[in-house]
Structure formats: structure tokens, C-alpha cells
Chains A and B, each alone.
Chain A
Amino acid sequence: MVKKTKDGLYIKPIEKGTTIDHLPVGTALHVLNIIGKTDSAITVAIGVPSRKLGKKDLVFVENKTLSNEQIAQIALIAPGATLNIIEKNEVILKSRLEMPKKVVGLITCINPKCITNMESVETIFYIENNALARCHYCEKIMSKDDYTARLRL
């Protein structure tokens, strides 16, 4: 079943599973990393036209719902993305992902001298203005690029 969207693209809607829409261009590859190895079929579109964003990425995952941790990680790197849960070709749950204020155990600290890189301690970060993440322990600040590269997978 292949359908032409309003944007003029051909993409296969899924009967059951999860779709992540309105991803900023370039984030789909990170989302794939977050989803990791899976038996589910995944369809990815990168840099496709979007009325809302100009361009966007899309990820469709068949027959699978994501864990809360995976959703929190996607919210961190792609706030504003839309997550849809699909059952029998219908969207049964639609949610706009929001940037969390605090993230626990999802990313590692950039500071090699941080206690979280030395001992078995769950990381905690506070997300501050301009999407900067401040380590609860060593207080070092990471940019979005820094922590996107440090997702705990």
C-alpha cells in the first residue's frame, strides 16, 4: 500500500506501530540509533519538504511501540517532533514531544573527570536556556551537539 502525500512524496503508511514526524533534518539517524537493533521494519525519510519546518525527517517503525526511555531521548534531541501510535491504520495516540527539564540516565557527561564517568552513578542533567544541559554532579555544561553524541544507548 503506497500513498502519495500532500507534499508529493511517496511513503508507505503503517498499519500498526509508531511514527515520528516533524523531526529536524539530520535527527532521523540519531533516532535510529536510539531505537537500535530491532526486528521491526523501519522506514526513514530524510530532508523531505514540510510546510511546518521547511524540511524534516520522518521515521516509521512497524509493529513496535517505543520505551519511555527511548521517547525521552528523542524528546531531548528533537523537541517539537510528533509521535503517533498507530493501530489498525488509525492514529490512536498523538503527542508533541517536549524538551524535558531534567534527564536521568539518558546521556553521559562530557567531562572525563566527572564522578559519573568514574563510578557507577546514574547521570542527571538539567536542561537550561538554549537547550544546554548542566551536569548535576560536576556542573559542566554541554551543548545540544555534545549530548546528542552522548546518548546512552
Chain B
Amino acid sequence: MARKKRPKKGLGGQLSFSDIVSISDFSRNDIEIILSEAKKLEKMPLQAKKQLLFGKTVATLFFEPSTRTKLSFETAAQNLGAGVIGFADANVSSAKKGESLSDTIRVVSDYADIIVMRHYIEGAARLASEVSKKPIINAGDGSNQHPTQTLLDLYTVEKAFGKIDGLTIGLFGDLRYGRTVHSLAQALALFNDVGLVLISPETLALPDYVKKQIEGRIKYIEAQELSEFIKELDVLYVTRIQKERFADPVEYEKVKGKYGLNKKSLEKAKENLKVMHPLPRVDELSTDIDQTKHALYFEQAKNGVIVREALLNLLKDVKKW
């Protein structure tokens, strides 16, 4: 199969790549460019923003269902004045007829200026980036990567604290299977003096291969009890523990109680501790936290739009070949 070489630099030599595929492609400089673009767009009046992608087309190809990610990308595209085409389900695309992903992407890259894609197959976004003439933004490829979630998480932290360097961040819950926390840990390792506290049941600890990626670049400790560390945390990032990860339902019930967060569990926390969650939540994050000053998760979801606007604006004129 013919594969085109990716250009070394993105538009205007800003980002060091022209597709948003994986957090492992990012340097700290790339992240800072995106966060600063988001900051700039957040202050811009909607009428002015509407001109930025006027006449452009953004394709949202969702081979797997999604609510927040798809809607936030489409809102972002519309806020910048772009037209949106796409589908929300592989069953309504020609993938159902057996068309290869490569062919679908080649065709759509002639229709759209930017392609946002979610796919249930891992590595689909990387392949798409290699066959598409236009930038690909990975909106999730199976359990592999979801880089725009990580970017909006970083934007949320920076907005809340004015910095990321030097913070102590707790990752709480299922650290084994959650791609969100893997990418976040990788990205935080690019910053200075960030301390990670990894709090999970032993069976759902951060996998060794992720630890190897961050080792020597970030200080981390592993724990099973949140209460030991709650006083030290600036951010507590909560993830959902899924029932299907446990062979024994009794074990799940035990763990569920211990790794659920409510107002009481935050009694000893710093006054400015911020609780984050990628959403959707089920019962690991009690609604009694919603009205406290600790809750940052709805703000976090809202930031998804602005960060995606930043990505679309940075990539809008990129032509790869």
C-alpha cells in the first residue's frame, strides 16, 4: 500500500505535526501552542470567531457512538463558522458495505478540510493520518488514544491554577484500563515537578508499560487509600470502575464503595482542591460534590469545545500533500 510521508512541520511551523493522533507525538511546546490558542479563542467574541473557518468543511466520522465528543467537535466547528458533514454510526457509512477505512478516508479528504474521526479499531487514526490529504483529529481509537480529552484536561487544570508545573495530581479509580489516565499521565510527564499519586485497587493499577513511559520523567507514588493523600492533592482526577472488569461481583461491590467519591471524602482536602472526571459518571462521583467549589468536571466538559476550536483553527489551512 502506498504510504505518503508525513510533513515534519504543521502549518507555519507551529505544531510539530499536522494530525492529532496520539499524545505520544506531543512535545511540551505543542501542548503550549494549543492551550494558548484555546485561551485566545475563549476571549474572542463569537461573531469574530465565526469568520475563522468560514467556507471550510469539517467532517465528523464517528464509526462508534459518542455523545460529548461528537457534539463538542460539531459545536466547535459551528462556532468557527465551518460547515459540518459526517455520520454518527458505522452502520450508515459505506463501512457496512465492506469499504476499507483507507478508501473512506481518501474520499472524504477530498470533501472536507479537516476530518475528525472516532473508530472502534485501535490504530485507525494513525492509518487515516497516513492516507488523508487533510489533517485527521483522533476523537478516540478503541482503547488506544483520545488525545483531545487529554488536551482539554490540561487546559482545565491550567485555567484553574494558572499553571501545570509543580502541581500534585491524584489519579483515582481504574488506572489499568482507562485510556484517559494513561494519556494524561504521559502528557503530565512533559511538565516540571508534577507529582502523581496513583490511587487504585491493586488489580486496576497503572500498567507497567505506561509506568515505563513516564519513569524518570515524573515523580509518582502508588496507593490504595485516598484518605492518606487527600490533604496533599491539588487535583483529583476520578475515573469509573467498570463492573465487567471483575470476575467476582462481590469484589466489584467492595471496590465500588472504596473508590467512590463524595463530599465527606473531601473533608480533609485542600480548600482549592479541584475534582475532575472525563464523564459520563455513574456512581463513583456523588452529586453532593456538584455544588461545592471542588467540582470542576462540568467546566472540564465545557472546555472540550474551546480546545477543539483551537485544534480546528490551528489545522484549518494544513495541506499535507
Contact = CB atoms under 8 A, between A and B. Distances in A.
Interface stretch (B26-34, B117-125, B168-176, B229-237): B117-125
Contacts of B100: 119-120
A141 B208 CA distance: 11
Interface residues of B, number: 21
B143 to A, nearest CB: 8
B209 A114 contact: no
A114 B122 contact: yes
B1 A137 contact: no
B1 A138 contact: no
B22 A139 contact: yes
Contacts of B142: 113, 138
B127 interface: yes
Nearest to B120: A113
Contact of B123 (A132, A138, A141): A138
Contacts of A92: none
Nearest to B131: A121
A86 interface: no
Contact of A114 (B101, B123, B145): B123
Contact of A137 (B24, B102, B122): B122
Interface string B126-161: 110000000000000111110000000000000000
Contact of B121 (A114, A132, A135): A114
Given A121-B1, A139-B144, A111 B127 contact: no
Contacts of B145: 139
Interface in A99-150: 111, 113-116, 118-122, 129, 132, 135-141
Nearest to A109: B123
A115 B144 CA distance: 11
B101 A138 contact: no
A138 B209 contact: no
Interface in B91-127: 100-102, 120-124, 126-127
A139 B141 CA distance: 11
Contacts of B1: 120-122
B123 A135 contact: yes
A139 B24 contact: yes
26 contacts: A111-B122, A113-B122, A113-B142, A114-B121, A115-B121, A115-B123, A115-B124, A115-B126, A119-B101, A119-B127, A120-B100, A121-B102, A121-B127, A122-B1, A122-B3, A132-B209, A135-B123, A136-B123, A136-B126, A137-B126, A138-B122, A138-B123, A138-B142, A138-B144, A139-B22, A139-B145
Given A115-B101, A135-B123, 9 more contacts: A114-B121, A115-B122, A115-B127, A116-B123, A119-B100, A119-B127, A137-B127, A138-B142, A139-B24
Interface of A: 111, 113-116, 118-122, 129, 132, 135-141
A-B residue pairs, 3 tightest by C-beta: A137-B123, A138-B122, A138-B123
Interface of B: 1, 3, 22, 24, 100-102, 120-124, 126-127, 141-145, 209, 212
